[in-house]
Amino acid sequence: MSHTDRPLTLAEIQTPALVLDRDQMRRNIALMAQAIGRSGARLRPHVKTHKSVDVWHDVCAAGGTGGITVSTLAEAEHFFAHGADDILYAVGIVPAKIARAARLLKAGARLTLVVDDADQARAIAAAAQAEAVVLPVMIEIDVDGHRAGIRPDSAALITLATLIASDPALHLAGVMTHAGGSYGSSTAAARLAAAQQEASGCVRAASRIRAAGIACETVSIGSTPTALAQADLAGVTEVRAGVYTFFDLVMAGLGVAEPGQIALSVLATVIGHQAEKGVLITDAGWMALSRDRGTASQAVDQGYGLVCDVMGSPLGDVIVQECNQEHGIIGARAPGARLALDRFPIGSQLRILPNHACATAAQHAHYMVLEQNEVIGQWPRIGGW
């Protein structure tokens, strides 16, 4: 807020600044709440996109949530300190991190960790024993060869489940998977297929564990593209999704959202013109936008971001072509085309939609929050590990 009682205007914000359109964010939150509400599963929102307790409160206000997902122990500690007590740390765990996990468990957090390897499970069990805690763990399932996990039909799955179930320092809470391959699915049919593969692979893994006589309560799946694909989620108990709160150009490039649904942007000021090249320069370089070039491999390359007017309406084929640390070079998307620079006076403001919302937000310490395009406050976000 300003020194006076009235709210800040966009023109008064020091740039570059991370701007959050709360009205649009709430629409995105409602969209996911409806999609998951229909499925019968609970939503376990991933807070890694926003890392903001204020945003999480808006997510909870829409209902249907059960616990949170985090990508760092720093998120787990921060959100627990602010009232979240059911937390899935959805990145593989190692013994060196068990002391911090144990502190959270002893303080009353219902923290669940993720493993996909027998040696890893033995090592964290030893660390847990030294800390005098029992660690709830989920087995990560690999449904699409994208990243971590073990295959639902592998013998290793039952070996690992048996090892966990028989170790007094561990408790098998369930199975989880993340269909990261869905970020390459650019048609609705491909996303539905990825979502069905995600759900059926994880349900199958849980059934095999149960058939071996071992309890496997939670079946946790999710990514934004698959969560919105309306697959049959029979047997799935929870869905994790994160980037939907803001959406971004990568999601728009896949067809998961429209550019107009992107709630996050970087407010920038025009600091120079290069008339002979027909480009302009702003104060939003990669420090403000991130180096993410996630749309480079998509049908429409958005450079380092799609440029909007100060009210947030996309200008069409105007993109951030190049980035230096604190300079963003904005020009026309078409090779050789020049911008009419008199439309962008020096000192005027623009907004830039991010390729990858998580990466762009991570460049900033707080959000300037807008309602009806007026600044209603400043929300902090956390970083670090």
Ligand X SMILES: Cc1ncc(COP(=O)(O)O)c(C=O)c1O
Instruction: Return residues touching ligand X (CB under 6 A).
Output: 46, 49, 69, 90, 178, 222-224, 240-244
Cα–Cα distance, 76 to 109 (Å, whole number):
9
Would you say 113 or 268 has its CB closer to ligand X? Answer: 113
Would you say 239 or 281 has its CB closer to ligand X? Answer: 239
Cα–Cα distance, 12 to 231 (Å, whole number):
46
| Smallest separation (angstroms) from ligand X to the CB of 361 | 12
| Smallest separation (angstroms) from ligand X to the CB of 116 | 12
CA distances from 226 to 112, 200, 223, 233 (A): 23, 12, 5, 11
Single-letter amino acid code for the residue at 305 = G
Q: Where are the alpha helices (DSSP H) in the chain?
A: 22-39, 53-61, 73-81, 98-106, 118-131, 155-166, 188-211, 224-227, 249-254, 286-289, 357-361
DSSP letter (8 states) at residue 161: H
- 264-274/349-353 β-pairing: antiparallel
Cα–Cα distance, 185 to 228 (Å, whole number):
13
Please answer whether residues 270 and 341 qualify as being in contact, where contact means their C-beta atoms are separated by less than 8 angstroms.
no
Would you say 339 or 361 has its CB closer to ligand X? Answer: 361
| Smallest separation (angstroms) from ligand X to the CB of 109 | 19
Would you say 16 or 354 has its CB closer to ligand X? Answer: 354
Cα–Cα distance, 156 to 152 (Å, whole number):
9
Would you say 17 or 243 has its CB closer to ligand X? Answer: 243
| Smallest separation (angstroms) from ligand X to the CB of 256 | 9
Would you say 222 or 294 has its CB closer to ligand X? Answer: 222
Give 336's contacts (C-beta < 8 A, 6+ positions apart): none
| Smallest separation (angstroms) from ligand X to the CB of 234 | 20
| Smallest separation (angstroms) from ligand X to the CB of 178 | 4
